[in-house]
Amino acid sequence: MKVFLYLLHFPVYTLGPGTRVGLWLQGCTRHCPGCAAPETWDFPPEKAVPLEDLVQRILSFSCGPRRPDGLTISGGEPFDQPEALGELLRRLRGQAAVSDVLVYTGYRSDVLLERHPEFFADPPLVAALVDGAFEKGNVTDSAWKGSENQNLTIWKKEFSPRYEEWAKRAARGLQKVRSGDTWLLLGIPRQEDVARLKNPYGPV
């Protein structure tokens, strides 16, 4: 099985509680107006990688001096590859370092529950979701989401205190990392900053 991959990075501090592995899946059919990452919309064949390789790369982070204490999956739209996403999470199940999986999705959790109940059966494959379509203009002061309508839903109750604390106290921040010959900003910018970040020398 293959999975469309945009980026894998560790450590990530700006998307979820703790020090996490960040996984951005390539491809999104939703095309929200104002999306900060339209470069992740396509599904180009060269971005498809063997799922087993991705599993091994994620697990390899646990062998280093600094161990992850969670995995955040974003995109793109992770649930536009439901088979690959499900298989990835099943392969990672039981690995303590990534038992806390947070997924950012543009689909509402009630829609996902109906379409993909296997992710939420007991025990669930995800610890928490930040769900709902990104809405341009619906600004938010919450650092963990892009628009006010989005929700945090917690599926693994043992992680409730961790996520409730994070949702209350998370500070907005962007982490600058190098990927090949490109610099990337990891995190959730304020809506009003997106255009400026894409073109820092353009008109305000």
Q: Name the pairing type of β-strands 71-74 and 48-50.
A: unpaired
Tell which residue, 158, 73, 152, has the closest CA to residue 122. Answer: 158
Cβ–Cβ under 8 Å, residues 191 and 137 = yes
Q: Is 7 in the site for ligand SF4 (CB under 6 A)?
A: no
Our CB check for ligand SF4 shows the closer of 88 and 105 to be 105
Interface with ligand SF4 (CB under 6 A), residue total 12
Q: Which stretch binds ligand SF4 (CB under 6 A): 15-23, 35-43, 44-52, 196-204?
A: 35-43
Listed ranges 23-31, 58-66, 108-116, 186-194: which one lies at the site for ligand SF4 (CB under 6 A): 23-31
Q: Residue 37 phi/psi, 5° resolution?
A: -135, 55
Pairing of strands 101-105, 71-74: parallel
Q: To the nearest whole angstrom, how small is the minimum distance from the Cβ of residue 35 to ligand SF4?
A: 3
Question: DSSP code of 38?
Answer: G
- The length of the chain in residues reads 204
* Window contacting ligand SF4 (CB under 6 A); options: 31-39, 49-57, 174-182, 190-198: 31-39
Among 16, 17, 106, 132, binds ligand SF4 (CB under 6 A): 106
Helices (H), the chain: 51-60, 82-92, 109-115, 160-169, 191-198
Establish if 35 lies at the interface with ligand SF4 (CB under 6 A). yes
Q: Which is nearer to ligand SF4, 26 or 68 (CB)?
A: 26
Structural contact between residues 20 and 69, judged by C-beta atoms closer than 8 angstroms: yes
The DSSP result for 71-91, as a single string, is: EEEESS-GGGSHHHHHHHHHH
- If one asks whether residue 132 binds ligand SF4 (CB under 6 A), the answer comes out as no
Q: Which string of x and - marks every residue 59-88 that binds ligand SF4 (by CB under 6 A)?
A: ----------------xxx-----------
Q: Which part of the chain contacts ligand SF4 (CB under 6 A), choosing from 33-41, 118-126, 137-145, 196-204? A: 33-41
- Chain contacts with ligand SF4 (rule: CB under 6 A): 28, 30-32, 35, 37, 40, 75-77, 106, 134
